[in-house]
Structure 1
Amino acid sequence: MSLHLREKVAAVLEETGQYQRLGRAVDIFLILLILANVIAIVLESEKALSQTYHSHFLRLEIISVSIFALEYVLRLWCCVDKIEYAQLKQPNWKKRLKYATSPLAVIDLIAILPTILMAFITFDLRFLRVIRLLRIFKLTRYSRAMQLLLAAFKEESSSLLAAFFIMSVVLIMASCGIYLIEHDIQPDKFGSIPKAMWWAMATLTTVGYGDSVPVTPLGQFFGGLITLLSMGMVAIPTGLLASSFAEQLRKRRDAFNEAILHALVDGEVDENERQHLEALRIELGLSPLEANQAIKLMTSQRVHHMYCRHCGKKL
């Protein structure tokens, strides 16, 4: 009985099978609750509003934390029925531990932990408010685009680390260079390498804050070189993420097309296969229009290959 119930809960939370609509309704409710929390936390930073509506803010916080805690416990309980964990040959407690250390589960925990800890530890309200604002990252679970971006970060992590390492080296070289050139002329702004790093950072990121600028001809020439160099440096991680993002989209479309071809083995897509494709579409973050176009294209290609292009007879 409990196993059957656990599978139902997993289906609702993951929006699969016959519980897609219910799961979608739950997701929309949680999204609205997260947005209400973020708005309330921002408004609560106004002292007048905090004093006037303190009881309302407290009531919303208690209700929200209770719901988020229930969601976290349910996800931790039924995660063993998710496809990625069900295939693992491990005890359920190890599967749950692996899920608990996943990025999305950690975000869910952060959403409820500050309020729970507040009952045992005294927090600075400003610090607590900022920590509670991290609940906005729970929206990552319900945004396929954010999941796609996180997948791009994960896939290009080594390349991004290499790019940031190169940028760090250039940052140190730029700081040392402007320090040697300008430290006698502007000791208050370039009197040490750590002070010069602020200018180097603002220049390399092409922000150009303007509070620290070289005044000597050699310093201005050096600053111009760093500015030109920064255009290429900033483009490296941007290009990596853009290409990886496009690659993630292509992989998801290819996975959906393969599922369509698998469903078309018998020549048509029945109702069960259509439901499976719909669940896969939601999981991959494809739009209904894009999915329907893919189904029509794969079906037409399948029909085309079933008949001889010379005589028109079925193969």
Structure 2
Amino acid sequence: MEKDSKYNWRQKLHDIIYEADTPAGKSFDVILLILILASIILVMLESVKSIGARYHDFFEIGEWIITIFFTIEYFARIITVKKPSTYIFSFYGLIDFFSTIPQYLAFFFIGSNALLTIRALRLLRVFRILKITRYVGESNKLAKAIKDSKAKVSIFLFAVLILCIIAGTLMYMIEGEESGFSSIPVSVYWCIVTLTTVGFGDIAPVTPLGQLIAAIIMIMGYGIIAVPTGIVSAEYAKDQDASKITIDGEDYVHMNTQACENCNARKHRDDALFCHNCGHSLFINE
């Protein structure tokens, strides 16, 4: 009986901390995000000398309160999973650790509390609160499309780099130092800026031939921007029906915010009974 009670306590705490499908889980995540935002605001305001000097004690107390909460949360996440290492060495586990430790490092290293801005990365959890599962699924598909198109995009970018080196060298030969093209690296920098249609305007060709080459590079820039977009879109289109079902004429994604208690794996289908990673049951054993 005592073992079951302990298990239920752990399981319920796990659901509150890791899930966003329950009122308690949503409330916990909302409180967490508010504290993250408050911490970031405190750090930013403290960096303003006039404000930091006047309200230093307030900022210090506020940050310690928030840090203690994050410390409790971090250890709670560890004790509610059967394999703590799966959380500790996960992406969010490392973010949680590095967003909490700076305040304690302030005892030993002056200025280390500025590292608290890393907590901004934890705002990624806002997507778990929204419970808009179709967007969670779409983001996973987009990440997969980018990964699948990595080789093609890499080759394309390498070709663009070669083009920039050639064009930059030509501009250096045509324009010279008088026009600001003082070296080949500077000329390559100008070519990259022009090709990406940024155009800082700090360097500009003055000769007719140089202006002609610049015009060609600008026009090519529009096409070059479109190519990687097309590559990723093609990969994305291949998997557009991979994880969807159709209900009343609309597409829905089979995914939710549920995290496995055993291995902390996510991205489970709505109709899943067991974890896709370790096979552990996704439901509370009553």
Instruction: Confirm or deny a common fold (TM above 0.5).
Output: yes
Counterpart AA for 1:152: L
Partner of 1:264: none
- Kept in 2, the 8 Å contact 1:172–1:197? The answer is no
Matches within 5 A, 1:104-253: 104-123=92-111, 128-129=113-114, 131-144=115-128, 149=139, 152-160=142-150, 162-183=152-173, 185-187=175-177, 189-239=180-230, 253=244
How far apart are 1:238 and its partner, in Å?
Answer: 3.7
Residues 137 and 168 of structure 1: is their aligned pair in 2 closer, same or farther, counting only changes over 3 Å? same
Q: CA deviation at 1:250?
A: 5.6
Q: Pairwise mapping of residues 1-315 of structure 1 onto structure 2 (< 5 A)?
A: 1=3, 2-15=6-19, 20-80=22-82, 92=83, 96-123=84-111, 128-129=113-114, 131-144=115-128, 149=139, 152-160=142-150, 162-183=152-173, 185-187=175-177, 189-239=180-230, 253-254=244-245
TM-score for both structures, normalised by structure 1: 0.65
Q: Structure 1 pair 250/133, CA: closer, same or farther in 2 (3 Å)?
A: farther
Decide which moves more: 199-208 or 231-240: 231-240
TM-score (ref. length: structure 2): 0.70
Any conservation in 2 of the 1:153–1:241 contact (CA below 8 Å)? Answer: no
Task: Answer whether contact 1:15 1:21 (CA < 8 A) is retained.
Answer: no
Taking a change above 3 Å as real, the CA distance of residues 244 and 159 of structure 1, as seen in their structure-2 partners, is closer
Distance 1:241 1:53 in 2: 49
**Structure 1: where are the runs of 5+ without partners?**
81-91, 258-278, 285-315
Q: CA offsets, 1:123-167, max 9 Å, x none?
A: 4x6xx52x3222111011222557854662355224245414422
Amino acid at match of 1:224: A
Does structure 1 conserve the Cα–Cα contact (< 8 Å) formed by 2:14 and 2:77?
yes
Q: CA deviation at 1:170?
A: 1.2
Distance 2:207 2:166 in 1: 16
- Bigger RCO of structures 1 and 2 (CA < 8 A, at least 6 apart): 2
Write the letter of the residue equivalent to 1:27.
D
Q: Which has the higher helix share?
A: 1
2:149 alignment partner, SS class: helix
Write the distance in 2 (CA, Å) between the matches of 1:194 and 1:46: 37
1:53 deviates by: 0.7
Question: Measured at CA, do residues 198 and 29 of structure 1 come closer, stay the same or move farther in structure 2, by a change above 3 Å?
Answer: same
Show the counterpart of 1:305.
none
CA contact (8 A) 2:67 2:103 kept: yes
In the alignment of these two chains, the number of paired residues is: 242
Indicate the RMSD between aligned Cα atoms, in angstroms. 3.3
Deviation of the 1:10 alpha carbon: 0.9
1:57, CA displacement in angstroms? 1.1
SS of alignment partner, residue 143 of structure 1: helix
Query: Structure 1 residue runs of 4+, over 4 Å off?
Result: 144-148, 239-253, 279-284
Distance 1:119 1:243 in 2: 52
Supply the AA of the counterpart residue of 2:76. Answer: L
Measured after TM superposition, the shift of residue 11 of structure 1 is 0.9
Q: Residue 69 of structure 1 aligns to which amino acid in structure 2?
A: T
Residues 65 and 112, structure 1, Cα contact 8 Å, conserved in 2: yes
